[in-house]
Amino acid sequence: MCDTHVLIFWASSPEKLTDKANQLIRLGLTKGTLACSDISLWEMAMLIDKNRLCLPTTIKASEYIQTIIDAMNLRVLPITAEVAELAQLDDFVHGDTADRLVAATTLANNGTLITADAKLHKVKRLKCEW
């Protein structure tokens, strides 16, 4: 499972990824097992809208996001009732709703989250790599 910033780094700034993150992404690309939470799509669109992620004027946010999904062969996992419930657990020290949903989606799908987010690395039940 890729955190939002991992998707952005992979597409726009791969040098920001660690060797371990690159290794896991390559493995996921080979096996076709990479995934993200659907909230990550909204996060990317929001970052583009707020000019915190700059694109050429000829590329729409939806095109950029779809290109990442296609290039990484991403499974976009939905926010389910289980994910919503898990996101409310006291295990999460993170105040950011999107990050809680990404982590809860990872837990609900028994995955490993590729993330640099130190707060998410502290969640006891969540397996994180960076």
pLDDT digits (tens, 9 = 90+) for 33-86: 999 999 999 999 999 999 999 998 899 999 999 999 999 999 999 999 999 999
On whether residue 109 sits in a domain, the answer given is yes
Taking residues 11-20, report their average pLDDT: 97
Residue 31 pLDDT > 80: yes
Q: How would DSSP label each residue in 86-106? A: HTTSTT-----HHHHHHHHHH
Q: How many domains does the chain have?
A: 1
What local confidence, expressed as pLDDT, does residue 25 receive?
Answer: 98
Identify the pLDDT of residue 93: 67
By residue range, what is the domain housing residue 91? 4-122
User: Which of 35, 37, 3 shows the shortest CA–CA distance to 18?
Assistant: 3
What CATH number is given to the structural domain containing 11?
A: 3.40.50.1010
Residue 44 falls inside a structural domain: yes
Tokens encoding 87: 């996101």
In a domain, 129, yes or no: no
**pLDDT attached to residue 90:** 80
pTM over 0.75: yes
Question: Is residue 31, in this structure, part of any structural domain at all?
Answer: yes
Does residue 128 form part of some domain?
no
Query: In this predicted structure, what is the pLDDT of residue 124?
Result: 87
Inside any domain, residue 26: yes
